[in-house]
Amino acid sequence: MAAEAERRAAWRASLAVGLAVSAYGVSFGALAVASGLDIWQACVLSLVMFSGGSQFALIGVLATGGTAAGPAAIAGATLLGLRNGLYAIRVSPIIGPGVARRALAAHLTIDESTAVATAQPTLAAQRVGFWATGAIIYIGWNLMTLLGAVLGDLLGDVRQFGLDAAAGAAFLGLVWPRLRALQPVAVAVGAAVVATALLPVLPQGVPVLVAALVALVVGIPNLLGARARSEEGSA
């Protein structure tokens, strides 16, 4: 009985998170088209890359730099996707064995599926949380990307509708929940200062990559970090 209740709680969490996240696939589709992609290119990004932060990063660099900024766009999207690799390491024991199952799980390994899965109390509920959240977002994100891309195509000049300003707000929404301690806030401010200073002097896309070094400078020596915080929370 208790196990059944836990599985149902995992389903509820998956549904709530999944529907909310899917909804902003619309903004990705519309912004992708505004950045110069066609509808199919926007859809392929959501189908294959399937990682919101990396997708927004790629179209953001392409929007200001065009195809000349291609290498920087690819590097930015890949760096931002590195955290998915860490999520994969963390949820790997939840998924269990089987090549096909693990390959499918890899594709669905994103912020939300990892967060919902690791928040559940039992292995069975963690499995429900991972697969339900991943599947709901995969379907919803792709449908909404298509819808947003079609709408963006119809709208024409998106600056008039403020869609270029929506991209900055979208990134702010992705970083906001991560700013709960002094260390990440310091890194966020430092990276913003570095990016601002380098914007006028380096080619498009490169300031973002240099600003990422702030994370290494602060993170490796653990400057401003909590000292000897208990590590069991990450297990």
Which of 133/204 has CB closer to other proteins?
204
- Residue placing its CB nearer to other proteins in the complex, 14 or 204: 204
Shortest approach of other proteins to residue 100 CB, angstroms? 12
Tell me whether residue 67 or residue 154 sits nearer to other proteins (CB atom).
67
Beta carbon of residue 223, minimum distance to other proteins (angstroms, whole number): 10
> Residue 114 CB, nearest distance to other proteins (Å)?
10
- The minimum distance between CB 7 and other proteins, in angstroms, equals 24
Q: Which amino acid is at 39?
A: I
Q: Which residue's CB is nearer to other proteins, number 74 or number 119?
A: 74
